[in-house]
Chain A
């Protein structure tokens, strides 16, 4: 280390015996490479072993006819993919997932935004309201799913009881093909709304007060004017971001389906991850399950990349 510093000073004095191409900062210490290997080595190995290799493996498996426990392994090209898209169950699963996301995402984002705006509009009890609305996001979904089952129970559930009392139609919510997916979506909104709300609250806090002052002076001082002139435009980037993040979470729905419906009745509530689980671990059709996994991977990666682009844009926005 001391030698390196000495070399630096010598270089600045223009001595000829110092290598002019040596970097000044940071000094390359001989032990640095060794240290790096020791420090980052385990993580690197594990990343390769637990992330990169498995992804490669799953793509590879999707192109073979491998089954769990068998020894045979043949390359079958895109046969598995053709198979799943021809399979009514998988297509239904994909469709259901898209429907689910298309209900949960807008519901969560709009609900979260509305609650965030309402909380921020006044000065009292903000932490309290924030806590209440965030709680569902924290609580173990597996456990809360069971609670929802009790709530939605056709005879003793609170939902049917209340609906009957006020004259709304009742149903066997989780056992009726027409209602099961929307109801699961409601549970999804319930769970994720607090998350969207918190992201919006952070976004609202970051709007400079100066802009509201300027709006006051310019004449946009009513609540609606402020919303349209300053608040919503400034939340634009945050909103785009929240949309993607919530959509991603919605795509990963599993717990409620696994516990409450197992994809039923029929395939009415079959979703992508649940189908993946079933094919891979219940029916043990590895190649098939792998193809589903690849489809899931492509969707997730696309969404995440879009999210990364949007964050980038947000940073350059101001």
Chain B
């Protein structure tokens, strides 16, 4: 059992709070991603789980046992570092064998010449070498076992780092932005390999990244962190479609979501720039409200057509083959809005022209000006549907 339980973790550096009362339960065998921008505290949280740093307040439990005073060695966690942290003076084989040697050999047995003479050492070492070889074979790095890290490519080094963590069969796998030093193509390949690794090993993975694509594709659940606080925890699609607050909605999704200031009108309808939009907000008339519209939620309409919400002059059109990203200055909006349109169905749009866009009411996300999400009845029904699919999916997971 290697579920992880974090309770009320806080940490300060100097006067600055890095973590603020973070509580999270990670299930055994789950792939959980800590997602957030640089400086949000996610790496610190990972290091606290590993035991490389100590929290100021709060507790950590792994597999049901409180590990707060325990050194990393005693926690049965393995870690893949952003810089890989491979020992440059040792061969790949020696790098991967070290954690096993530290655990299975006594200090006396580890002595360079003398140790080998002690009873049982040779057999143990042979076993260790066999384990290393087997792990290397799985990762397809057997052919570089005799080389030093300096002689390897970035992708190979990454695999060695993973191998060094894997070879111990830990109950928890920690990964600190392991793909950030790789080029884009390699990153995509390695993403798939990490997912496969998780499936094969079946242990708890805690993965730290600032890259949404990694978070969305790899994780069972994503924990979004901003400014040291946990903002939302949920399945990737939930985070995307059902953000808990404005900043989460702005962080997830590329291109960025468009936020429109509006006021609630009579009967709970919303007015944007003179045009109305029929959404049951459940709010009092004349309160300020913020509408979040993802780029793909826009559809083009004729001028003055039904449901038209925004219009403006096009600044820039980015043609990506199947999609168009249209940047336009919408009337009443300070910043350019980005809409994603289907290239085949969109009317010919060019810079300098006017464009008129509509939005379906149910695709709009509502936020209070202070940032928290306002869920309408329609949202709740949709959320219910998501929950149902989640339960079905969980049952489908082989244990």
Residues of A at the B interface (CB closer than 8 Å) are 208, 210-211, 213-214, 216-221, 225, 229-230, 233-234, 236, 316-318
Contact = CB atoms under 8 A, between A and B. Distances in A.
B77 A217 contact: yes
B79 A214 contact: yes
B150 A318 contact: yes
B83 to A, nearest CB: 5
B103 A219 contact: yes
Interface string B77-108: 11101010111111000000011001100000
B360 to A, nearest CB: 49
A234 B90 CA distance: 10
Contacts of B103: 219
Interface of B: 47, 50-52, 71-73, 77-79, 81, 83, 85-90, 98-99, 102-103, 150, 164
B234 to A, nearest CB: 29
B73 A217 contact: yes
Contacts of B86: 214
Contacts of A211: 85, 87
29 contacts: A208-B83, A210-B85, A213-B47, A213-B52, A213-B79, A213-B81, A214-B81, A214-B164, A216-B72, A216-B73, A217-B77, A217-B99, A218-B73, A218-B98, A218-B164, A219-B73, A219-B98, A219-B102, A219-B103, A221-B71, A221-B73, A225-B102, A229-B87, A230-B87, A233-B87, A234-B88, A236-B89, A317-B88, A317-B150
B174 to A, nearest CB: 8
Contact of B88 (A220, A221, A318): A318
Given A216-B51, A217-B73, 7 more contacts: A208-B85, A214-B164, A217-B50, A218-B98, A221-B72, A221-B73, A229-B98
Nearest to A318: B88
Contacts of A218: 73, 98-99, 102, 164
A119 to B, nearest CB: 23
Nearest to A237: B89
Contact of A213 (B85, B102, B150): B85
Contacts of A234: 88-89
Contacts, number: 61
Contacts of B52: 213, 216-217
A210 B83 CA distance: 8
B172 to A, nearest CB: 11
Contacts of A208: 83, 85
B12 to A, nearest CB: 18
A220 B102 contact: yes
A213 B164 CA distance: 14
B279 to A, nearest CB: 50
Contacts of A221: 71-73
A213 B48 CA distance: 12
A217 B78 contact: yes
Nearest to A236: B89
B2 to A, nearest CB: 16
Nearest to A219: B102
Contacts of B47: 213
A217 B73 CA distance: 5
Contacts of B99: 217-219
Contacts of A225: 102
Contacts of B72: 216-217, 221
A214 B87 CA distance: 9
Contacts of B89: 233-234, 236
Nearest to A209: B85
Nearest to B53: A213
Contacts of B51: 216
Contacts of B88: 234, 317-318
A225 B83 CA distance: 22
Contacts of A217: 50, 52, 72-73, 77-79, 99
A211 B89 CA distance: 11
A208 B89 CA distance: 13
Nearest to B75: A217
A218 B103 CA distance: 8
Nearest to B150: A318
A234 to B, nearest CB: 7
A221 B52 CA distance: 11
Contacts of B77: 217
B246 to A, nearest CB: 36
Interface centre among A211, A213, A229 (most CB of B within 10 A): A213
Q: Which 3 A-B pairs have the closest CB atoms?
A: A219-B102, A214-B85, A210-B85
Contacts of B98: 218-220, 229
A196 B73 CA distance: 34
B20 to A, nearest CB: 24
A210 B52 CA distance: 10
A204 to B, nearest CB: 15
A92 to B, nearest CB: 40
Nearest to B99: A218
